[in-house]
A = this chain, B = another copy of it.
Amino acid sequence: MMTSAEAATSEDALDRIKSVVGPKGIVSDPEQLGRYIEDWHGLYAGAARLVVLPASTAEVAEVVRICSAARIPVFPQGGHTGLCGGATPSANGIVLGLARMNRILSVDPANFTITAQAGCILAEVQRAAQAADRFFPLSLGAEGTCQIGGNLSTNAGGTAVLRYGSTRDLTLGLEVVLPDGSVIEGLRSVRKDNTGYDLKHLFIGGEGTLGIITAATLKLFPRPRETETAFLGLSRLDDVMTLFARSRAASGDQLTGFELISRYGVQMALDYAPGVRDPLDAHHPWYVLLEMTSSQTGTGLRTAMEQILEEAMASGEVQDGVIASSDAQRRELWRVREGLIMGIRHQGAASKHDVSVPVDQVARFITEADAAVVRSYPGSRTLSFGHVGDGNIHYNAFGVPEADIPACHDMVNDIVLGLGGSISAEHGIGISKRHDLTRYKSPLELDVMRRIKAALDPAQIMNPGKVL
């Protein structure tokens, strides 16, 4: 409980915050407030004393300074598309949204870099790169809504990690407002910098608990000049891994996408996503969406793709397949992968997992988890899809009795751990996986994390209740 003197100080602080951001920087419309308070799939209903949208790094810093002095918790928010409740506020704090800080600060094609404010929508960063004949490879389902600051804070993955790495790997420099309101001006665009501890890697994936990322300098790449996309039907899960090894060996670095989808996933896309057609005539237990790209033309990409398919079909790994013959057809194939997400929302409560295992353990993980889930919960049904090349599987068990979901959840995670895997591959920890973190991370690693949190945020005002 606050004393009345503290409450008065705190009210005064909120007034000062309002005057820092001005009327345009305050969200007060009750209709609009909801989307800053609740997370987007409605699992976490938060609350907040104030929702502010600063227009500059200086405003962010000033707001944080006031909050630091008054011990008011700060909940940073990007596009609010996270899946773990990492941006959900609590009643004693303020929401600090980055949406108004949405300028591309510079694009430097000769240096292959782009500098963007944290509130830039991911798709805008992609477009700005493309306009300069360059390529920003981060790509994921929410790219039309999520903000690059959120991508950085959660170290977002997506469909191009196999070739280009996660958001962490794409980052050269950061500007960060620390929990005391001081500003690290680290928008460096050099490729190599060995001058002491690499602080940016604490804030990337830190989920806003160590500071607020306000801008970033990111790597660009040569634009893909040729793309070949195939949709393949397979009868056995083990063959998926053989096909992956074959594809990577034959195409080397040109293999940029290798997405696994089970039949159930394809069926969901057909049932729930408008306009999706089954790319293949017959049904197959497993599908692979395989994509190869080249930044050059005339490297025989089509021939290489055809040869991989020919050999894979001759050896019996692949039963049927289609190679996109146009950009329109390529987009149709990807619609299957994207469309299944719409189906998931209609399946009700589930044990949901975003896990990774060593790449060669993917088939084993799915096989063991499926067997355990179906044995433990008769009538349940599992769905696996994801980025096989990264060992990253989105695993869902539907039809598990709601009371049994926590036990099912732990059971699947134990299998992941037994295979040397991670219980959060790309979605982060937020609120939803804090329990998992204490269960699966070593006490020593958690202790070191807490020491770092205490060193950077001694007052514990920055996104409290998340991660740790």
Residues of A within 8 A of B (CB): 108, 110-113, 154-155, 157, 161, 165-166, 168-169, 178, 182-186, 188-199, 201-202, 204-206, 210, 221-222, 225, 241, 245, 248-254, 294-296, 298-300, 304, 356-361, 387, 390-392, 420-429, 433, 437, 440-442, 444-446, 448-449, 451-452, 454-456, 467-468
A60 to chain B, nearest CB (A): 15
Residue among A206, A299, A421, A424 with most chain B CB within 10 A: A299
Q: A189-B358, A193-B356, A425-B192 are in contact. Are A455 and B445 (CB under 8 A)?
A: no
B189 touches A445 (CB 8 A): no
What are the residues of chain B within 8 A of A356 when measuring CB–CB? 190-193
Given the known inter-chain contacts A113-B358, A184-B448, please indicate yes or no for A420 contacting B197, CB distance below 8 A.
no
Instruction: Report the minimal beta-carbon distance from A393 to chain B, rounded to whole angstroms.
Output: 10
* A427 neighbours in B (Cβ, 8 Å): 194
CB proximity of A169 to chain B, nearest CB, Å: 6
Interface contact B391-A188, CB-CB below 8 Å: no
Question: Nearest residue in B to A157 (C-beta to C-beta)?
Answer: B192
From known contacts A357-B190, A454-B455, infer whether A199 and B425 are also in contact, taking CB-CB under 8 Å: no
Residues of B within 8 A of A390 (CB): 191-192
A189 to B: closest C-beta gap in Å: 5
Q: Shortest Cβ distance from A369 into chain B, in angstroms?
A: 16
Interface centre among A202, A210, A252, A445 (most CB of B within 10 A): A252
Cβ contact of A296, chosen from B241, B304, B429, cutoff 8 A:
B304
Q: Are A448 and B199 in contact (CB under 8 A)?
A: yes
A299 CB to nearest chain B CB (Å): 5
> Could you say which residues of chain B place their CB within 8 Å of the CB of A468?
196
Using known A-B contacts A191-B391, A192-B161, A456-B451, determine if residue A184 contacts B424 with beta carbons closer than 8 Å: no
Cα(A300)–Cα(B202), bound, Å: 42
The answer on a CB contact under 8 Å between A194 and B420 is no
State which of B111, B204, B304 has its C-beta within 8 Å of the C-beta of A358: B111
Q: What residue in chain B is nearest A84 (Cβ atoms)?
A: B194
Question: Please, how many angstroms separate the alpha-carbon atoms of A361 and B358 in the complex?
Answer: 40
The answer for the CA separation of A451 and B295 in the assembled complex, in Å, is 44
Closest B residue to A450 by CB, please name it.
B455
Which of B112, B155, B294, B455 has a CB less than 8 Å from the CB of A451?
Answer: B455
Q: Which residue of B lies closest to A416 (CB)?
A: B190
- In the complex the two chains form, what is the Cα distance from A428 to B195 in whole Å? 6
**What are 9 A-B pairs at a CB distance below 8 A?**
A110-B241, A155-B194, A190-B358, A191-B356, A191-B359, A196-B445, A196-B467, A197-B452, A300-B300
Task: Find out whether the CB atom of A192 lies under 8 angstroms from the CB atom of B445.
Answer: no
Known: A108-B358, A252-B295, A455-B455. A198 touches B190 (CB 8 A): no
User: Are B449 and A194 closer than 8 Å at their CB atoms?
Assistant: no
Given the known inter-chain contacts A161-B192, A440-B195, please indicate yes or no for A252 contacting B391, CB distance below 8 A. no
* Residues from chain B with Cβ under 8 Å of A449 in the complex: 196-197, 199
With A168-B198, A193-B425, A298-B300 known, 12 other A-B pairs at CB within 8 A are: A113-B358, A182-B444, A190-B357, A190-B420, A192-B387, A195-B423, A196-B467, A199-B445, A199-B452, A201-B202, A296-B304, A451-B456
Which residue of chain B lies nearest to A294 when distances are taken between CB atoms in the complex?
A: B252
| Cβ–Cβ contact B197 & A425, under 8 A | no
Q: Judging by beta carbons under 8 Å apart, are A110 and B359 in contact?
A: yes
Q: Is the CB of B252 within 8 A of A296?
A: yes
Q: How far is the CA of A189 from the CA of B360 in the complex (A)?
A: 11
Query: How far in angstroms is the closest Cβ of chain B from A304?
Result: 7
Q: Give complex CA distance A294, B253 in Å.
A: 8
A216 CB → nearest B CB, Å:
15
Shortest A208–chain B CB gap in Å is 12
Shortest Cβ distance from A173 into chain B, in angstroms? 9
**Whole-angstrom distance between the alpha carbons of A204 and B428 in the complex?**
22
By the criterion CB–CB under 8 Å, are A425 and B194 in contact? yes
Given B221, B299, B304, B441, which contacts A196 in the complex, CB threshold below 8 Å?
B441
Distance in angstroms between the alpha carbons of A286 and B186 in the assembled complex = 33
Q: Is the CB of B194 within 8 A of A424?
A: yes
Please state if B168 and A192 are interface contacts (CB–CB under 8 Å).
Answer: no
The interface residues of chain B lying within 8 Å CB-to-CB of A296 are 250-252, 254, 304
Q: State A222–B248 Cα separation when bound (angstroms).
A: 8
Q: Assess whether B222 is in contact with A360, with CB atoms less than 8 Å apart.
A: no
- CB pair B190 A197 closer than 8 Å: no
List residues of chain B with CB within 8 A of the CB of A358: 108, 111, 113, 189-190
